[in-house]
Amino acid sequence: MTDPGISQDQSMEMTGTITGMWDDEAIIAARLPREKVFISERISRGGYGEVYLGLFNDETIAVKMLLSETRKSISHVNKFLSEVKMMAMMEHPRITKFIGVAWDSLADLCVVSEYMAGGDLRAQLNKYDETGHQKGFDKTKVKMALHVAHALTYMHSLEPSVIHRDLKSKNILLNGDPDAKLTDFGISRERVDQTMTARVGTSLWMAPEVMLGEKYDDKADIFSFGVVLSELDSHSLPYSHTKESSNSDRKMPDAVILQQVMLGKLSVQFTQSTFQSMTDLGLACVSIDPDARLTSVEALGRLRHILSQEM
């Protein structure tokens, strides 16, 4: 039955998309029986999809589905399928485990992945703030950063390398000790001299060259990683220290922040009490010049050294 909100042309295009799924080897290989994927409570909701707690083969899982309104958009459906294919090709202990994809129709199309009981890093940092957890870096936070650096090093070492393009605290999931894993590959791409408009991705974490629509490479992820390091340090959202003026307590508007970052007049800050080596690492990641930033391998090496020698 056709959704009353979808035109006949859209319906035919959607049917072609679903039919085309059968021709994609990665999706066929990852297909799960839809009747064996059980869905319970909603965990989170994003711009075009929502994530539910679920069960598959007696294993607790996370189930991502399109919102009812975005199922009507062929671009959102294709973006969703691109994420499936990207997740299916990656296997690393610091990236959320992809289990499969299931559907009987477009209405119940879903991606199944491992469930991370600790929630996302942004929520954890909010809890830290609420409970008076000490700012700066401790062993736990450095381990989280190390885990993310492992994931980036893996992605950037693939041939062709994969750029996440939406690295932020909300896309880092936690489990246990803590285990930190990278998730949400909805706009990730294999590197081919990328350009991307500033409307794609998450602006406050975005590298200046991406905001400007210039060509970029995996160093764009490194900039975002540096911004995440500032969040781990302060528990606050990026650039929360900025004010409209010297006599105002109001935060600078995002549009002004972005302009200042693009001009090299504003950068993330680190608390004075934190390890100098972590401050140096963070600042080396957020240089306005991509060539001056560390590589993921270099960042990983520094974090390993800090964890083994300074913690």
What distance lies between CA 311 and its chain's CA centroid?
27
What pLDDT is recorded for position 148? 98
Q: What is the pLDDT of residues 140-188, one digit of tens each?
A: 999 999 999 999 999 999 988 999 988 999 999 999 778 999 988 765 5
Give the residue, 38 or 78, on which the prediction is more confident: 38
- Closest listed residue to residue 170, CA positions, set 142, 148, 196: 148
Lowest mean pLDDT among 206-210, 221-225, 270-274: 270-274
Are residue 51 and residue 184 in the same domain, yes or no? no
Q: How many CB atoms lie within 10 A of CB 198?
A: 13
- The reply to whether 142 falls in a domain is yes
- The reply to whether 1 falls in a domain is no
Are residue 110 and residue 151 in the same domain, yes or no? no
CATH number of the domain encompassing residue 77: 3.30.200.20
Share of the chain above pLDDT 90, in %: 57
> What are the structure tokens assigned to 84, written together?
């499936």
SS3 35: helix
Are residue 87 and residue 215 in the same domain, yes or no? no
Are residue 138 and residue 87 in the same domain, yes or no? no
What is the C-alpha to C-alpha distance for residues 146 and 157, in angstroms, rounded to an integer? 16
Which residue in this structure is represented by tokens 């189930």? Answer: 63
Are residue 110 and residue 255 in the same domain, yes or no? no
Among the candidates 61, 81, 114, a domain finishes at 114
CA atoms within 13 A on the CB side of 211: 21
Are residue 173 and residue 241 in the same domain, yes or no? yes
Selected catalytic residue, list 120, 166, 184, 221? 166
Are residue 161 and residue 93 in the same domain, yes or no? no
Are residue 77 and residue 151 in the same domain, yes or no? no
Mean pLDDT value of segment 56-68: 93
- The reply to whether 3 falls in a domain is no
Residue 166 annotated as catalytic? yes
CATH number of the domain encompassing residue 174: 1.10.510.10
- The reply to whether 45 falls in a domain is yes
What pLDDT is recorded for position 188? 58
Are residue 34 and residue 58 in the same domain, yes or no? yes
Among the candidates 89, 114, 139, a domain finishes at 114
Looking at the structure of the chain, the number of domains it has is 2
- The reply to whether 175 falls in a domain is yes
Q: What is the pLDDT of residues 224-282, one digit of tens each?
A: 999 999 999 999 999 988 876 666 778 888 888 988 999 889 999 999 877 899 999 99
- The reply to whether 60 falls in a domain is yes
Burial of 190 (0-12, 13-18, 19+ CB in 10 A): middle
Are residue 47 and residue 151 in the same domain, yes or no? no
Among the candidates 70, 90, 114, a domain finishes at 114
Are residue 283 and residue 179 in the same domain, yes or no? yes
Task: Name the residue range of residue 146's domain.
Answer: 121-309
Give the residue, 70 or 126, on which the prediction is more confident: 126
Q: To the nearest whole number, what is the mean pLDDT of the chain?
A: 86
- The reply to whether 243 falls in a domain is yes
Are residue 284 and residue 152 in the same domain, yes or no? yes
What is the DSSP pairing of strand 162-163 with strand 189-190? Answer: antiparallel
- The reply to whether 63 falls in a domain is yes
